Amino acid sequence: MNTLLLHCRPGFEGEVCAEISDQAARLGVAGYAKAKPNSAHAEFTCLEPGGAERLMQGQRFNRLIFPRQWARGDYLQLPETDRISVLLQALASYPVCGSLWLEVFDTNDGKELSNFCKKFEGPLRKALEKAGRLVEDASKPRLLLTFKSGREVFLGMAEADNQAPWPMGIPRLKFPREAPSRSTLKLEEAWHFFIPREQWDARLSDEMTGVDLGAAPGGWTYQLVRRGMLVTAIDNGPMAESLMDTGLVTHLMVDGFTWKPKQPVDWMVCDIVEKPARTAAMVEEWIGGGHCREAVVNLKLPMKQRYAEVCKLLQRLQDAFAERRIKVAIACKQLYHDREEVTCHLRRL
Ligand SMILES: C[S@@+](CC[C@H](N)C(=O)[O-])C[C@H]1O[C@@H](n2cnc3c(N)ncnc32)[C@H](O)[C@@H]1O
């Protein structure tokens, strides 16, 4: 059980390899990362016993930027019939698990396999429960079976409180029909990921104010309005009439990189397509200058060294806040709804 399997957005396997290798080096876990391009996953093979477990213990999953899900374990070949017996036999060397997720990679092959998983899950769950390998208990590790095909599965596990919050790291969010653009799901996912649900009423309250930079046509503004906030939407482009009709939105046709509010606001969100260094400098000014308390900004990553670029910018932000002597919690994740980009959340403490 000494391989760490990491799911990701197809095309970001190199970023995952670089990131997990960095973290393994930090923790002194010997091993090597490998991945096939566009396979939507990478593997980190640990060279010493217990290495994968130590790596997971020393790293919070939520702090990883590019991986969508992770599990430690091994690959297992499956026969065409009676897969369950072979799985039960292999699981004899695994601890008893408290929950079960069947997963696939985010590729076309994976999508085809998800039908098989749906059919297989019920009988497998029953057999595991009957054999005492699965008992409902949130404090026990989760069994994560990632099917590569009907004949090969990664038999993995992860602590339920240190892994993706959703199977395969994919939240099932329903596109709200009234929202003016699909981008709306990016901000909604960001809130689900970065803000614990029990804090939503306090941190996303209808007594708050928000600014949306690069707002048109209004997918992100829609999310702020849905929480009852008064929003200033900055964009030269037109905002959806339905949002303007709410009376909660003021639309200003000015430059989002130079405009600042006269009074501090609670939230600033920004989805402008711009060089990530410029966006990072802008959010540093907003939070550092006290113009907002929390921010969600999208960093676009068209360059080659995407992991290195994100690390550099996060470090720059940390240094800048340290210099200003202010405490800011910074988190960054490539969310499921992100494409060639990552989402950063900043909160002044
Ligand atoms: C990706 S779109 C935003 C989509 C929006 N978040 C939504 O959910 O509907 C980027 C927007 O940024 C705007 N934009 C680009 N440069 C800008 C700038 N300097 N100031 C303000 N808006 C800008 C563009 O006009 C465009 O509407």
pLDDT digits (tens, 9 = 90+) for 172-183: 999 999 999 999
Q: What's the CA gap between 117 and 103, in Å, rounded?
A: 8
pLDDT tens digits, residue range 208-263?
Answer: 999 999 999 999 999 999 999 999 999 999 999 999 999 999 999 999 999 999 99
CATH code given to domain 183-348:
3.40.50.150
How far is ligand 1, taken at its centre, from the CA of residue 242, in Å?
Answer: 18
Do residues 266 and 212 lie in contact, with contact meaning Cβ atoms separated by under 8 Å?
no
For residue 295, give the 3-state DSSP assignment: strand
Q: pTM score, two decimals? A: 0.95
Protein residue closest via CA to atom 15 of ligand 1: 272
Q: Which residues line ligand 1 (CB under 6 A)?
A: 180-181, 183-184, 213-220, 234-237, 255-257, 271-273
d(CA 339, CA 328): 26
* 217 annotated as belonging to a binding site for a ligand: yes
One-character DSSP codes across 197-228: GGGHHHHS-TT-EEEEET-TT-HHHHHHHHTT
Find out whether 220 and 187 touch, Cβ atoms under 8 Å.
yes
Neighbour-count burial of 70, counting CB atoms closer than 10 A to its CB (0-12 exposed, 13-18 middle, 19+ buried) = buried
Q: Sheet of 142-149: strands edge to edge?
A: 31-34, 41-46, 3-7, 69-77, 152-158, 142-149, 99-104
And the tokens for 116?
């098989």
pLDDT of res. 93? 86
Crossing angle between the packed helical segments 219-226 and 184-194, to the nearest 10 degrees = 50
Residue 319 is labelled as binding a ligand:
no
Atom from ligand 1 closest to the CA of residue 180: 9
Report whether 216 belongs to an annotated binding site. yes
Q: Which residues are catalytic?
A: 300
Domain ranges of the chain: 3-169, 183-348
Instruction: Specify the CATH number of the domain 3-169.
Output: 3.30.2300.20
For ligand 1, the distance from its centroid to the CA atom of residue 66, given in whole angstroms, is 24
Query: Could you tell me which of 26, 29, 64 has the C-alpha nearest to residue 46?
Result: 29
1: Cβ contacts below 8 Å, ≥ 6 apart: 52, 53, 72, 73, 74, 93, 94, 157
Which two structure tokens, joined as six digits, stand for 248? 């909660």
Mean pLDDT within 321-327:
97
Q: Is the pLDDT of residue 1 over 80?
A: no
C-alpha 239 – ligand 1 centre gap (Å)? 10
Atom of ligand 1 nearest to the CA of 183: 8
* Closest-lying ligand 1 atom to the alpha carbon of residue 256: 20
Residue closest via CA to ligand 1's atom 24 equals 214
Residue 214 CA to ligand 1 center (angstroms) comes to 3
Minimal CA–CA distance to 3: which of 58, 103, 76? 76
Nearest CA to ligand 1 atom 16: 272
pLDDT tens-digit series, residues 102-113: 999 999 999 999
Residue 23 has a CB neighbour count (10 Å cut-off) of 15
- Ligand 1 atom at minimal distance to the Cα of residue 236: 25
Q: Ligand 1: which residue has its CA nearest to atom 14?
A: 214
- Give me the residue label for tokens 């708050």: 208
Residue 44 has what pLDDT? Answer: 98
Residue 87 three-state SS: helix
Q: Residue 81 — pLDDT band, cuts 50, 70, 90?
A: confident
Instruction: Please check whether residue 336 is in contact with residue 169, taking contact to mean a CB–CB distance below 8 angstroms.
Output: yes
218 is in an annotated binding site: yes
Measured between alpha carbons, how far is 185 from 262 in angstroms, rounded to an integer? 29
